[in-house]
């Protein structure tokens, strides 16, 4: 029919279904992002829940789940009660001092550059001059940013939905896994191995990511406080949150820390910049490779490409998911190559024997 044999028609329909699936994923990407965040949050809780479940040795995971969520709420509540108060106070102080910062920067820029100043002084004077030139733009942008923040407040419902979805993922994970494996009849063993690899990859990635974020918060809190950087705990908390966003988050955190320090009149900005650079090198080349396995590690060029591509496709959400998605694609590609090599070896054996 129409000059197409059955194999060509089957391949055409397969390609059409794949394109249709990609289009559906793109149209419901916001909803899928909520479920993906819930899945990653479930992987953060899984080691603790699994540890409690083995100690209870019950027939259901529900008691271990309730204990896990109770412990997490207790830990978060304790953390917020001690650190959150300091962060809130420093955030209020920073917001109250923001107009004074801009006025000071504008006055310093009006004074003009000092021809006898050092290189760093000239650099900061140039920075102040740029802020002065764009001062009106920043002031006019503030109300727009506030309106955008208020319009996005509806997404706060996701904060409630994500733990609920994570609860059901952890509770019914085994049933969901069995239902998924039921789709594979003859290749069930290969599907089980692939799913086990994906499970281990996501588990290790989220565990390492959480450890890196906590290490950033602890290190920044200690060092920034020791250097007497203004709003040290607030800046460490911002760095902790931005650490979850690959590549872009740490860079944004460093710029925020240096910018607030310069605007606050901090006298040792050079030492602060040196510390931020040394810590980033230590984390990227020592700590992160030690925590990430070879299956999670990606080439820096691939990471940069994934971050920019994810930003174009899904904004901040795309940047956040770029690394785990690339790691999963890498894992599936190696699994596919292994399966193809095994299949080629099985088909070549009869030819040799004949």
Please report the pLDDT score of residue 258 as a whole number: 87
Q: Widest CA span of the chain, in angstroms?
A: 91
- How many CA within 13 A on the CB side of residue 261? 25
- 46 token code pair: 């899984």
Q: How many C-beta atoms lie closer than 10 Å to residue 33's C-beta?
A: 18
Question: For the chain (length 354 residues), average pLDDT per consecutive 10?
Answer: 61 77 77 85 90 80 88 87 81 74 57 53 57 50 45 56 87 83 75 83 87 92 91 90 85 87 82 91 81 65 80 77 83 77 60 52
- 22 token code pair: 């990609």
- 230 token code pair: 């203004």
Please report the pLDDT score of residue 196 as a whole number: 84
C-beta separation of 179 from 189 below 8 A: no
- CA dihedral in degrees (134, 136, 142, 144; nearest 10)? -100
Please report the pLDDT score of residue 138 as a whole number: 46
C-beta separation of 124 from 268 below 8 A: no
What letter does residue 156 receive in the DSSP assignment? G
Please report the pLDDT score of residue 104 as a whole number: 61
pTM higher than 0.75 for the full model?
Answer: no
Quick: pLDDT tens for 241-253.
Answer: 888 888 788 888 8
Please report the pLDDT score of residue 216 as a whole number: 93
Please report the pLDDT score of residue 294 as a whole number: 54
Q: What span, in angstroms and rounded, lies between the C-alpha atoms of 107 and 128?
A: 9
What letter does residue 172 receive in the DSSP assignment? S
C-beta separation of 206 from 218 below 8 A: no
Q: How many C-beta atoms lie closer than 10 Å to residue 110's C-beta?
A: 10
Phi and psi dihedrals of 304, rounded to 5?
-65, -45
C-beta separation of 42 from 169 below 8 A: yes
Q: Identify the CA nearest to 66 among candidates 86, 48, 79.
A: 48
Distance of CA 314 to the CA centre of its chain: 13
């Amino acid at each position: 029919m129409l000059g197409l044999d059955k194999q060509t028609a089957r391949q055409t329909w397969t390609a059409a279904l794949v394109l249709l699936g990609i289009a559906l994923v793109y149209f419901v990407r916001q909803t899928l992002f909520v479920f993906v965040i819930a899945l990653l949050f479930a992987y953060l809780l899984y080691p603790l829940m699994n540890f409690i479940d083995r100690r209870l040795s019950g027939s259901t995971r529900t008691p271990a789940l309730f204990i896990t969520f109770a412990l997490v709420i207790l830990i978060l509540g304790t953390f917020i009660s001690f650190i959150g108060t300091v962060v809130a106070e420093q955030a209020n102080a920073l917001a109250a001092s923001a107009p004074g910062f801009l006025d000071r920067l504008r006055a310093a820029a009006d004074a003009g550059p000092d021809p006898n100043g050092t290189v760093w002084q000239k650099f900061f004077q140039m920075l102040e001059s740029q802020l002065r030139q764009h001062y009106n733009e920043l002031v006019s942008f503030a109300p727009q940013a506030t309106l955008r923040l208020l319009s996005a407040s509806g997404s706060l419902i996701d904060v409630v939905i994500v733990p609920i979805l994570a609860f059901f993922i952890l509770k019914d994970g085994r049933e969901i896994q069995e239902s998924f494996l039921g789709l594979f009849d003859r290749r069930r063993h290969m599907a089980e191995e692939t799913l086990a690899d994906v499970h281990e990859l996501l588990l290790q990635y989220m565990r390492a990511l959480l450890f890196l974020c906590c290490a950033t918060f602890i290190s920044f809190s200690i060092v920034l406080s020791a250097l007497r950087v203004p709003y040290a705990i607030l800046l460490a908390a911002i760095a902790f949150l931005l650490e979850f966003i690959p590549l872009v988050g740490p860079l944004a955190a460093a710029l925020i820390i240096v910018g607030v320090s310069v605007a606050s009149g901090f006298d040792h900005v050079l030492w602060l910049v040196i510390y931020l650079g040394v810590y980033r090198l230590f984390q990227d080349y020592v700590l992160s490779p030690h925590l990430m396995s070879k299956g999670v590690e990606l080439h820096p060029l691939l990471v940069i490409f994934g971050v920019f591509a994810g930003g174009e496709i899904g904004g901040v959400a795309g940047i956040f998911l770029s690394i785990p998605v690339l790691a999963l694609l890498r894992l599936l590609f190696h699994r596919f190559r292994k399966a193809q090599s095994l299949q080629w070896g099985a088909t070549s054996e009869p030819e040799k024997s004949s």
